[in-house]
Structure 1
């Protein structure tokens, strides 16, 4: 009988997001997975291999890796690594007021490896260095930090779109529509985009590895959690704000995605 894959949690003593230089001593690790966060690793130096969900990726800088929640991975690095690591907890995405960060991370959801054009490597490294410097400062400013982070994510989505030969215009428009006018109904967005719900669903599966309903639900649950924790809005008012037909339907929807009712979530105020 195979042993369970160990779960490594680097967030127990960390804030909702962490930025640091890649640990030069981390050369060989055992297969493990992270169940609470997304990890972005940007290599500017070093050689070796990154094994992710049984696939072997060569570490040949400049290259960037995304280790998504519950993916199994390990490192085999032959020469001294250089680069940066960003660890993003779910709670950061729920509390940040910059919704474009969520949108851009969702665009990168299906990507495991991103090779950076050599002519862009220096610029991207400077951005990571600035982000790390701001994070490690004695009094980091959220607006400055998120501004730099947003520029990094904009650059990464641009590189990804160019490499894939697909500007993802419709997918990006869909995400922007959700951010601007959050509703639970897939048909609402499909009709606005002049598509059938099925075609929108197929597009989302291709671009984001999620159905249209799952993409919408991800945004809705984050928004609801934010409203429950940081406002005094009644549950019925939140349901109305998000265009649910009735409060009971909204409560069932929230519980189906979180395992808790809105009332219990607000009372316990958990950190995910």
Structure 2
């Protein structure tokens, strides 16, 4: 059994927004080809599993699926809603830092239950309409509508404390490297070199952004990937250890147990 990768957007496009397909019921676990997917459902019932967490569909519901995350649906009644597929290139072409910050904030909420649907549905329909015949001058319109949409989501689902994460460009680049790399390397020095900075500065960047060291942040990604491989492939623990760049399986087992208080084999069977 191997992890299936799906690509739902044409190579020439960097963003796609459309109605959620009403015929979707059960899907096999899969991940996406290096893009973010945001799914909003205002009708339907069932569940949605992202990596190793299963969420009930209690409409209206928003799901945020990050690049490389595994997910699958178990929908029991006809769904209605919208889906946004967004490539890295869309954000690279944007000069609106507030939009990038809002997407960063949303990535911390894999599932949120919203308060109302009228305004959200209106914004989604405007986005669909504006993307039908997209031309360059519409980029500003699309970005403005996305900002309104994401701000609405965050306003409805998080306490209004005034505290938001302010991600630096370097932190966003590190996050993107971890999400898109074929192999995650358990080394702060490795990523510091790629970002043309020092390990000390990379630690400071991570602590400023999310309050943890660069080593811990990288470790979280390694454990996430290990859990995906344990759950969604038939690879042995030794094979997973090799793929994750551990020197041997015993080192990987000790590392995994220290982070999760379970051995890889116990996690797989639980």
Distance of aligned partners of 1:17 and 1:168 in 2 relative to their CA distance in 1, 3 Å threshold: same
In structure 2, the residue matched to 1:61 is 59
C-alpha distance in 1 between matches for 2:134 and 2:88: 24
**8 Å CA contact retained: 2:34, 2:67:** yes
CA distance in 2, matches of 1:210, 1:30: 35
Give the number of equivalent residue pairs.
Answer: 194
1:79 aligned counterpart, secondary structure: strand
Q: Kindly tell me: are residues 104 and 210 of structure 1, through their superposed partners in 2, closer, same or farther at Cα, counting changes over 3 Å?
A: farther
| Selected match of 1:204 from 202, 205, 209 | 209
- Which has the higher mean CA deviation after the structures are superposed, 88-97 or 60-69? 88-97
Choose from 113, 116, 125 the match for 2:111. 113
Q: 1:147: which partner in 2?
A: 144
Post-superposition offset of 1:185: 8.4
Return 9-18 or 55-64, whichever deviates more: 9-18
Q: Which of the numbers 163, 168, 186 marks the counterpart of 2:163? A: 168
Q: How does 1:1-40 map to 2 (within 5 A)?
A: 3-13=1-11, 15-40=13-38
Structure 1 residues 131 and 5, CA gap change in structure 2 (3 angstroms): same
Q: What is the CA distance between 1:149 and its match in structure 2? A: 1.0
Tell me the CA shift for residue 156 of structure 1. Answer: 2.1
2:131 alignment partner, one of 132, 135, 151: 135
Counterpart position of 1:240? none
TM-score under structure 2 length normalisation: 0.62
Unmatched 5+ stretches in structure 1: 189-196, 215-272
Q: Give the Cα–Cα distance (whole angstroms) in 2 for the partners of residues 38 and 129 of structure 1.
A: 20
The answer to whether the 8 Å contact 2:40/2:63 transfers is yes
Shift of 1:9: 1.3
Q: CA deviation at 1:137?
A: 3.6
Check 1:184–1:161 CA distance in 2 against 1; reply closer, same or farther (3 A cut): farther
Correspondence list, 1:173-252, <5 A: 201-202=206-207, 204-205=209-210, 211=214
Confirm or deny: 8 A CA contact 2:207 2:213 kept in the other structure: no
The structure-2 alpha-carbon separation of the partners of 1:109 and 1:185, relative to structure 1 and needing over 3 Å to count, comes to farther
Unaligned regions of 5+ residues in structure 2, if any? 173-195, 218-270
Q: For the Cα contact (< 8 Å) 1:103–1:175, is it kept in 2?
A: no
Distance in 1 between the 2:198 and 2:96 partners?
23
- Root-mean-square deviation (CA, aligned residues, Å) is 3.4
Query: What is aligned with 1:104?
Result: 102
User: What's the offset of the Cα at 1:84?
Assistant: 0.3
